[in-house]
A and B are shown apart, each in its own frame.
Chain A
Amino acid sequence: MAFNGHQRDDDDIIDENETPSKQPRSDKEMPVHFRNEPNSESATTAGRATSDRRTSQSATRHRHDSVKKTRPPFPWFGMDIGGTLVKLVYFEPKDITAEEEQEEVENLKSIRRYLTSNTAYGKTGIRDVHLELQDLTLCGRKGSLHFIRFPTHDLPAFLQMGRDKHFSSLHTTLCATGGGAYKFESDFRLMADLELHKLDELDCLIRGVLYLDSVMSSGPSECYYFENPADPDHCVQKPCTLENPYPLLLVNIGSGVSILAVYSENNYKRVTGTSLGGGTFLGLCCLLTGCSTFEEALEMASQGESTRVDKLVRDIYGGDYERFGLPGWAVASSFGNMMSKEKRESVSKEDLARATLVTITNNIGSITRMCALNENIETVLFVGNFLRVNTLSMKLLAYAMDYWSKGQLKALFLRHEGYFGAVGALLELLHPS
């Protein structure tokens, strides 16, 4: 159990200099039912930014000044170096005064321009423009938060760029999380003369999730769920919030999977994990279909039929296995038809891609459900880049949670999917714990 038990004591300073938190849920949003533990810890609202304390003007001004002193210099980055992808969040200040611009060093300006005037970097870097958060106030500065990703495989190129742009001369702390913060620590040091401030990926994940959900923006709601997941014609995305979310089961699906039980902002434990994650889906797909990217794999999967590949209960029973409530359409043996040469020759690459997606997704769903049951938690939040542009898996998870629990469990999703670790790292830079 990872309990750091540290209660933040500078909440007051942050409130007035942060984007205000959302108002209490409106009637338009789904009434999400969360279990409320009798103990007061979990009854407190999530995260710093959700508090809506009011203070006097003079107090505000006083705090504003002290924040200025503790504010780190630009640029403000948060980095999450995962098993497959590097996630980078960058805060672009939009309130730069003429004076500030005058004083701005050349390479800082160059970095800012490079990042914000491109949506692609090199061959594989991408800025997810649709995820940009505008008019954000962080630490008293107003600006946009940008979300950038590139394969971990290309980190050397990134380090090279950091060196070429003399990033180290800016003397900023580079807050980094994910396994790569440890693995590449010496590379950063040796190749780009950069010191990483290493942070735990799960701490950052939770911090990032709670922050982004709490931020009030004019854009779409961060949190959403699926209504009627079993009905393709009526399945629709609906917004919601994570107000009073505890306890929460957080399922992070990256290259691999971690499952956390979150009792409060600073109190969570890693329940378990599974090595059959996003990396498995992509790896198997590449092998089985010859595809090379996640997007290709998903494209194929969207066109395939997994029931040609999987052996269903009805293939074995001729119908339902009623005694134990297993409907005929349930998968009894994933890829079970593939031991037959005849069937192997009759399926398409698309069918194989689909079966791989369904197998990995359902396995995660099944393990999640067991954890939810064991931990006595009804709300499950799925995050991680396996779900990026992957509505198929999200709907499958939503459906599985609902169906196998007979409506007891609810699956929730977040728009910024795999970026929360990076956001958490950025928050650590701005508000060190």
Chain B
Amino acid sequence: LLLKPSWKQHYSFPWFGMDIGGTLVKLVYFEPVDITAEEEQEEVENLKSIRRYLTSNVAYGKTGVRDVHLELRNLTMCGRTGNLHFIRFPTQAMPRFIQMGRDKNFSSLHTTLCATGGGAYKFENDFRMMADLELLKLDELDCLIRGLLFVDRVGFNGHPECYYFQNPSDTQSCVKKPCTLDNPFPMLLVNIGSGVSILTVYSENNYKRVTGTSLGGGTFLGLCCLLTGCETFEEALEMASKGDSTNVDKLVKDIYGGDYERFGLQGSAVASSFGHMMSKEKRDSISKEDLARATLVTITNNIGSIARMCAVNEKIERVVFVGNFLRINTVSTKLLAYAMDYWSKGQLRALFLEHEGYFGAVGALMELLKTTEDP
């Protein structure tokens, strides 16, 4: 579907898509690389300044980060060629961001700012009052699906966007394998952000939110900060990578002395998460790393369990996990892959996507452009 050039007038630069979540703001920015000399001449100063600021930095302020490794190069969108950049910063820094928008006179550019996520509603007034910006509010799940399908279609700089784990139950031979979402429907989509939403997607425009759980990425981070004194997601994951959750969790074998054979529960399965922690002796013997690991494992397995129940209920075999809880979080992705495979006796397969938590923002950008990629 190619848009007529005359429509381009409506889609003046800059092109942004924004997803204001409970913990993080995800921003995608399309940097045109096909700017003609003439266009450059006409380009207003603040637009140029924005473009330069965003593309010549990989960090912004104290907490903004551009995920360079995720950049989609030489993408064609709406007849323009450019690079798609992926930027994130904590939602807590939103006032600072809006301030910047004001300082750079963003409103004078008269562009529509397409925004999704709860914050598009929560901060609507702030954008208006503080930066004279009108948000075009979009539903986060609509955007998620649209963005996901788009990125999977265009691919990741010639590589597949989607992957899974082969032999997830075997730590030695567990290996990441690429795949695509050809004939993706129906799919179970599990979006793990601060909280979790689980959707059954029948087609691009036909989906339902099956359920959700409030035990998500925010829970992992919140509990870790409380239990270990860490302050960031990266610190929490670092600790978790070094810990042993079985010192913290009560396993089936701790209760049965072995397997609970009657109902197929292996001795190594967790019977009671954090179950050892009611004993002072055990509390004194574990490390912060063990606690971080147990928190990660508990939250991840709970999501896996709920996802599995949904997949069975909805009779779907493919479960796609997205969301920034999985960012740089191989422990959780492998655990989810394993859990889906193991508890379903190989019936279910877990799939993952490289751009994890950015699909909502991409979907918002697409709404701005209302286009698909050029062939």
Contacts and interface: CB of A to CB of B under 8 A. Distances in A.
- Does B associate with A? yes
Between B211, B214, B225, B269, the greatest number of chain A beta carbons within 10 A of the residue's beta carbon is seen for B214
Nearest to A255: B272
B95 interface: no
A270 interface: yes
Interface of B: 21-23, 92, 117-119, 121-124, 139, 141, 194-195, 209, 211-219, 221-223, 225-227, 231, 248-250, 252, 254-258, 260, 262-263, 265, 269-280, 283, 291, 298, 301-302, 305-306, 309-310, 312-313
Contact of B272 (A280, A319, A331): A280
Given A311-B194, A315-B22, A341-B231, A200 B277 contact: no
Contact of A275 (B213, B272, B280, B283): B272
Interface of A: 2, 82-84, 153, 178-180, 182-185, 200, 202, 255-256, 258, 270, 272-280, 282-284, 286-288, 292, 309-311, 313, 315-319, 321, 323-324, 326, 330-341, 344, 352, 359, 362-363, 366-367, 370-371, 373-374
Given A270-B263, A292-B280, A336-B195, A366 B213 contact: yes
B302 A256 contact: no
A344 B122 contact: no
Contacts of A280: 272-275, 298
Contacts of A332: 22, 118, 194-195, 214, 218
Contact of A276 (B214, B273, B277): B273
Nearest to B217: A333
Contact of A283 (B117, B141, B276): B276
Given A256-B275, A321-B118, A336 B23 contact: yes
Contact of A84 (B211, B278, B298): B278
B257 A282 contact: no
A364 to B, nearest CB: 11
A200 B211 contact: no
B357 to A, nearest CB: 14
Given A334-B216, A339-B225, 18 more contacts: A82-B255, A179-B256, A180-B255, A272-B309, A276-B302, A283-B278, A286-B277, A317-B122, A318-B122, A319-B122, A324-B141, A332-B22, A337-B222, A339-B218, A344-B226, A352-B226, A359-B215, A370-B313
Given A182-B258, A339-B218, A316 B122 contact: yes
A317 B283 CA distance: 38
Nearest to B213: A366
A219 to B, nearest CB: 32
Contacts of B92: 340
B338 to A, nearest CB: 15
A89 to B, nearest CB: 20
B214 A331 contact: yes
B118 A287 contact: no
A390 to B, nearest CB: 15
